[in-house]
Amino acid sequence: MFAVVQFPGSNDDRDMQFALKSVLGAPASLVWHKAAQLPRGTRAVLLPGGFSYGDYLRCGAMARFSPIMAAVRRFAEAGGFVLGTCNGFQILCEAGLLPGALVRNRDLHFVCDFVHVRVERNDTAFTTRARTGQRLRLPIKHGEGCYFACPELLAQLEAKRQIVLRYVTPEGSVAPAANPNGSVGNIAGIVSEAGNVFGLMPHPEHAVEPALGGTDGSILLGSLLDRVKREAA
Amino acid sequence: MSQSEVVVDLQLAREHGLTEQEYACILEILGRVPTFPELGIFSVMWSEHCSYKSSKKYLRALPTEGEHVLQGPGEGAGAVAIGDGLAVIFKIESHNHPSFIEPKQGAATGVGGILRDIFSMGARPIASLDALRFGPLDDPRHRHLLRGVVDGIGGYGNAVGVATVGGETGFHECYRGNILVNAFNLGVVEADRIWRGKASGVGNPVIYVGSKTGRDGIHGASLLASAEFGEGAEAKRPTVQVGDPFTEKCLIEACLEVMGADVLVGIQDMGAAGLTCSSFEMASRAGTGIEMDLDLVPQRESGMTPYELLLSESQERMLLVAQTGSEAKVKEIFERWELDAAVVGRVTADGLMRIRWHGKTVVEIPVDPVAENAPVLDRPLREPADQRGRQRLELGQVAVEHDPAGALEALLDSPNLGSKAWIYRQYDQLVQGNTVLGPGGDAALVRVKREDGTPTSKALALSVDCNPRWCWLDPYEGAVAAVAESARNVACTGARPLAVTNCLNFGNPEKPETMWQFAEATRGLAAAARALRTPVVSGNVSFYNETAGRPIYPTPTVAAVGLLEPWERFAVSHFPEEGLAILLLGETREELGGSEWLALRRGLEQGPPPRVDLAHEARLHALLAEGVRAGAIVAAHDVSSGGLAVALAACCFTGPRGVRVGCEVTLHQSLRLDALLFGESTGRVVVASREPEALLGLAGERAVPAVRIGTTGGSSLRIAPSRGAPWIDAPLARLESIWSRALPRRLETDEAIGLLPSEVK
């Protein structure tokens, strides 16, 4: 019931499937980007990290034209849950399913590190296992993760409570020092206005096993699993 | 240039890097004057880079077999069984000259090339390491080279989806004219599904897959990798290839898919010397011939000549031999990944490489004489005149360190010992979800999954090491130490070292002094690999690492691979908590020769490097494995460059779990203070234990010297004599700040003048 879309150049597709299937016990299958339809019974779509089409044009700019994206758009418009991590977040922005854009990191370097993010609200389908204000330790690994929104859009995101994750210090404060890429408002993840599409730069799928990056990623993926199960019941 | 216009003669052969003797041999093999493309083929196949003609004699002495070894040197990479039907395939390879000329693309294609060596054997690449050497960072050119190489490794490795989990970076004057970029990769495969580069089955189709062929990289192997740099190395930039990680990623997936489809016979990367080397080697291994039509080769540019098509080193290409009738199936798989797949020829029975172009035969050469009968040289050796002089060190004449705390800070601030986070933060260390321990410790630890994603109870420990200064002072001992250190680092996680691969970087082999260094180093590698039971299963030789007559220090880089099972019980390399007993395993001797301290504080590169006791080393590795398994060791860190004080500081610094724990250590002073604190005696490991008595017992049984030296806790590094004021008592926050700024503060000089935006912390 979880569909993980595989674009040419996706890298974290198998890792997302592994996190969902082997760790969280959720049925998850890989769906080739050329497919015209999502598999029957899809309850949530995951757009994984990686470098779709090499990210040669602009991150996510090619992938949004893949045939599967029309189906993903219809799915999202019908209220289906879509979660995009890293390159998946970039694709969602390019496809217009999420507002704003992800641009080159402030220091122009790719960055791979563990960061702390604060859950700004726990009433989304992706955060119910967290407390509002809870700090999660998650890895990031990207060269173009600097979230940009113009002041008007930023105000709108704030007003409509679309900001779900912000980079914070280990103590939990939204400080410039905690911002790994220069994102406006330390934004690490946002939801769509309707709340069913979630994009984030951190990789929850790489934080689901205690000895490999901790388990804070399970909080996000597990929340989605809970929601999908509840709806199926 | 039309093929028929080019007249081949000795002069042209010489311009191709062939000797008079080699040219005579070509005439004899063919019984006629070679065509222009044929000359090109001989020149690359018999180049130093492809034929190993100077090194073969010495490489034969390396131990390459062992109970776990499935494939030794000779294929794309070595293969070692790790149990439960699984094997690992790994190799390290140099891309030095291309990276010096064009750092980003040179390093990127180095990564791409080593990946193809791994997945062409059927393994999914899961982890990369890199061993890098640059000149001093006060030289803006070397700051540029460092940035470019890191950008290239990250740009390629990140996009292709293979984690870079560790490595080693060093800086020294001797690399000012010739940097080193050695790339390691390891993949996992079902042991009965290892593919080899064999063109067997007469009539089977020869299929070209991957990127189209362009004019890039022509003569990379023969002219770039097999000659030293003079002035004007810049002019060789056109021989550096350009990498395309997206195509490589698709190529990995498509090749692994075709390997699972039961249609393949053999497969090989088109690496150095491209289509030529791969087709000759595949036919030679199978005892067959190949008939090929160059007009069928997918081409990126128009008007390419046979010479160019045969010698192009365009990246991301593979040569397949498939079963007759499976052509459509192979094409279907590659088309799904939007890659070219073209039948370019057939396997033949006559042992000839027959290549046609525009309806004419342009190459007709017997395969075996080219692939197998490459010249083997026995080059003259001579010990460098000042070799003995280098090893002389009168410690009595060397002023004793009077400011140990200052010396520690200076060492932590040096580019060689400072934090390498600036480098590895630019690499994806996590993709594929197997990284238990990433960069920044002794060895990386990578959990093994099967191709279908099922996790196993196994993890692999990986480390790459070499101390070039030691190798310059004593190539034999230096090489022994490189094997010992890489195996020791692997053992520090609790893993058992299984095998090694090496990348032998040396100067010009035509100089007897260089060949002497090479002979000594390989003798050391062989001795250590034999004693530690870690056979050398693959490797690469890189000669001609010198510019304007100045060679690099001999740099035989060694990468060790170890197995840990069950992987859940491993040791970290940082102190994880307070209240742990700290023990020192191994013996500290008065060995300051070749040390960082002596170089940095006294400006001397002198003396005999520390001796390695291989029997002790083997016992130590066994003790580490046992101690970790028994739960008596929770953290272990090898004592290497900078000695005990630097090792203790590194144990205290913030670990991957975000914890920083200080320590109080008391040492009995039996030798001069600088040797005690900063000497680099080998075979030593700092360990943290919850059960020191049990560990001391185990050490006693294994006859490994062990002594409790302190306890973890606090926020300072305190090292004191049994009586009196501490030698070092420094807040960790200060030491770690110095250490972590070592690279950024040197690179920021460019940023300050506006070349780059400021570093984000």
Q: What residues 113-132 of chain A have any CB closer than 8 A to a CB of chain B?
A: 113-114
Report strand pairing: A197-200 vs A81-85. Answer: parallel
Q: Any chain B CB within 8 A of the CB of A141?
A: yes
A 10 A CB-CB count for A60 gives 27
Tokens of A196: 């069913």
> By three-state DSSP, how is residue B470 classified?
helix
Active site members of A:
86, 203, 205
What pLDDT shows up at residue B50? 85
> By three-state DSSP, how is residue B654 classified?
coil
| Chain A contact set for B440 (CB, 8 A) | none
A 10 A CB-CB count for B255 gives 27
> By three-state DSSP, how is residue A21 classified?
helix
Q: How confident is chain B (761 residues) per 10-residue block, as mean pLDDT?
A: 70 91 93 93 88 93 94 89 97 95 95 95 97 97 97 97 98 97 98 94 97 81 62 60 92 96 94 85 94 96 92 92 96 95 96 95 91 86 96 94 97 98 98 96 97 95 98 98 98 98 97 97 98 96 93 98 97 97 97 97 97 98 98 97 98 92 95 97 98 97 98 98 96 98 88 44 31
Q: Select from A109, A113, A221 the residue whose CB has the most chain B CBs within 10 Å, as the one to mutate to test that interface.
A: A109
Side-chain-facing half-sphere of B531: CA atoms under 13 Å: 21
Contact across the interface for B760 and A182, Cβ inside 8 Å: yes
A 10 A CB-CB count for B113 gives 25
Q: Any chain B CB within 8 A of the CB of A54?
A: yes
What pLDDT shows up at residue B235? 57
Q: Which residue of B has its CA nearest to A115?
A: B658
Contact across the interface for A206 and B430, Cβ inside 8 Å: yes
Are the beta carbons of B508 and B514 closer than 8 angstroms? yes
Q: What residues 152-181 of chain A have any CB closer than 8 A to a CB of chain B?
A: 170, 177, 179-181
Are the beta carbons of B14 and B191 closer than 8 angstroms? no
Are the beta carbons of B142 and B136 closer than 8 angstroms? yes
Query: How far apart (Å, rounded) are the C-alpha atoms in residues A188 and A146?
Result: 9
| Chain A contact set for B429 (CB, 8 A) | 112, 141
User: Which DSSP string do the residues of B323-389 spell out, in sequence order?
Assistant: -TT-HHHHHHHHHHTT-EEEEEEEEESS-EEEEEETTEEEEEEEHHHHHT------------TTHHH
Q: Which residue of B has its CA nearest to A109?
A: B426
Sign of CA dihedral B539, B544, B545, B550: positive
Give yes or no for a cis peptide into B566 (omega within 30° of 0).
yes
Query: How far apart (Å, rounded) are the C-alpha atoms in residues B38 and B34?
Result: 6
Backbone angles phi, psi at B447, to 5 degrees: -70, 145
Q: Any chain A CB within 8 A of the CB of B161?
A: yes
Side-chain-facing half-sphere of A98: CA atoms under 13 Å: 35
Which residues make Cβ contacts (< 8 Å) with residue B553, sequence separation at least 6? Answer: B172, B174, B468, B469, B471, B472
> By three-state DSSP, how is residue B146 classified?
helix
Nearest beta carbon to residue A22 from set B154, B338, B455: B455
Side-chain-facing half-sphere of B557: CA atoms under 13 Å: 29
Token look-up 């973890």 returns B712
Query: How far apart (Å, rounded) are the C-alpha atoms in residues B100 and B237?
Result: 10
Query: How far apart (Å, rounded) are the C-alpha atoms in residues B425 and B432?
Result: 17
Are the beta carbons of A24 and A222 closer than 8 angstroms? yes
Contact across the interface for A22 and B436, Cβ inside 8 Å: no
Position B187, amino acid:
G
Interior angle at CA B556, CA B555 and CA B562, nearest 5? 135
To the nearest 10 degrees (0 to 180), the angle between helices B103-119 and B140-160 is: 30
The neighbouring-strand residues paired with B445 are B437, B461
Are the beta carbons of B712 and B662 closer than 8 angstroms? yes
* Assessment of whether the complete model's pTM goes beyond 0.90: yes
Query: How far apart (Å, rounded) are the C-alpha atoms in residues B594 and B384?
Result: 18
Which residues make Cβ contacts (< 8 Å) with residue B186, sequence separation at least 6? Answer: B88, B89, B90, B118, B125, B126, B127, B128, B446, B460, B462, B561
| Chain B contact set for A112 (CB, 8 A) | 158, 424-430
Q: Any chain A CB within 8 A of the CB of B425?
A: yes
Mean pLDDT (chain A, rounded): 96
Backbone angles phi, psi at B503, to 5 degrees: -125, 110
Tokens of B382: 């001579």
The length of chain A in residues reads 233
Consecutive H or E run containing A3: strand A2-6
Sign of CA dihedral A104, A106, A108, A109: negative
Phi-psi region of B654 (alpha: psi -120 to 50; beta: other; left: phi over 0): beta
Q: Any chain B CB within 8 A of the CB of A213?
A: yes
Query: How far apart (Å, rounded) are the C-alpha atoms in residues B185 and B128?
Result: 4
Consecutive H or E run containing B29: helix B20-30
A 10 A CB-CB count for B380 gives 11
What pLDDT shows up at residue B756? 44
Q: What is the CA radius of gyration of chain B?
A: 26
Side-chain-facing half-sphere of B37: CA atoms under 13 Å: 27
Work out the pLDDT band at A169, boundaries 50, 70, 90: very high
Which residues make Cβ contacts (< 8 Å) with residue B381, sequence separation at least 6? Answer: B512, B515, B516, B519
The neighbouring-strand residues paired with A102 are A147
Contact across the interface for B429 and A141, Cβ inside 8 Å: yes
User: Which DSSP string do the residues of B523-543 spell out, in sequence order?
Assistant: HHHHHHHHHTT--EEEEEEE-
Q: Any chain B CB within 8 A of the CB of A15?
A: yes
Average of per-residue pLDDT across A159-184: 96
Consecutive H or E run containing B651: helix B643-652
Tokens of B493: 């996680």
Query: How many angstroms away from the CA of A160 is the closest CA of chain B?
Result: 30
Contact across the interface for A112 and B425, Cβ inside 8 Å: yes
Phi-psi region of B174 (alpha: psi -120 to 50; beta: other; left: phi over 0): alpha
Cα B581 to its chain centre, rounded Å, is: 35
Q: Which residue of B has its CA nearest to A10?
A: B161
Token look-up 């090898």 returns B638
Helix and strand totals (H; E) in chain A = 5, 11
